[in-house]
Amino acid sequence: MTKGIRMIFCTFAAIVMQILVGQSASAQTQHSSDSFVPIAKYISRGDARSLSSWFAKNLEINILGKVNDCSKRQATQIVRNFFTTYKVKSFTIIHKSGVAPMKYAIGILNAGGQSFRVTLFVRTNEDGNYIQQFTIERE
């Protein structure tokens, strides 16, 4: 192979690799940008502390009809108390919709021998995705 052809071949191979790596990274970014995946994982574990990392600084919590506009810290305690009272068995998201800056998901939580409907509203801002509203109601 001549030096010119070898250089063209190497350049072409580098471009193809960049395209392939870019597509793979794009697919990973799209999957990881679904904030409901880790949120659902923490709910299914009954892990209020990890779930609270997704809470906005101030948010609305509605647990079994008791509505609170509260700080992230207060919301964490309220959710922790719920998970202590109702031991989580499973959580499944059954519906997701919306577009940034506001998306929502509805899920079914089986806890404490009961079934609950969970509604999550997630707001996107320049800092990231945060739960703005969190509701748990009996099915």
Least confident of 3-17, 56-70, 97-111: 3-17
Please determine, for residue 4, whether its predicted confidence score (pLDDT) is greater than 60: no
118 vs 28 pLDDT, higher one: 118
In this structure, are strands 102-111 and 66-71 parallel, antiparallel, or unpaired? unpaired
Specify whether the CB–CB gap between 75 and 59 falls below 8 A: yes
Half-sphere exposure of 82 (CA within 13 A, CB side): 32
Task: Determine the Cα–Cα distance for residues 32 and 54; give it in Å rounded to an integer.
Answer: 14
For residue 24, give the amino acid letter: S
pTM: 0.75
Digit-coded pLDDT (tens) for 115-134: 999 999 999 999 899 999 99
Please determine, for residue 98, whether its predicted confidence score (pLDDT) is greater than 80: yes
50 vs 21 pLDDT, higher one: 50
Quote the pLDDT of residue 9. 52
Q: What is the 3-state secondary structure (H, E, C) of the chain?
A: CCHHHHHHHHHHHHHHHHHHHHHHHHHHHHHHCCCHHHHHHHHHHCCHHHHHHHEEEEEEEEECCEEEEEEHHHHHHHHHHHHHHCCEEEEEEEEEEEECCEEEEEEEEEECCEEEEEEEEEEEECCEEEEEEEEEEEC
Digit-coded pLDDT (tens) for 103-119: 999 999 999 999 999 99
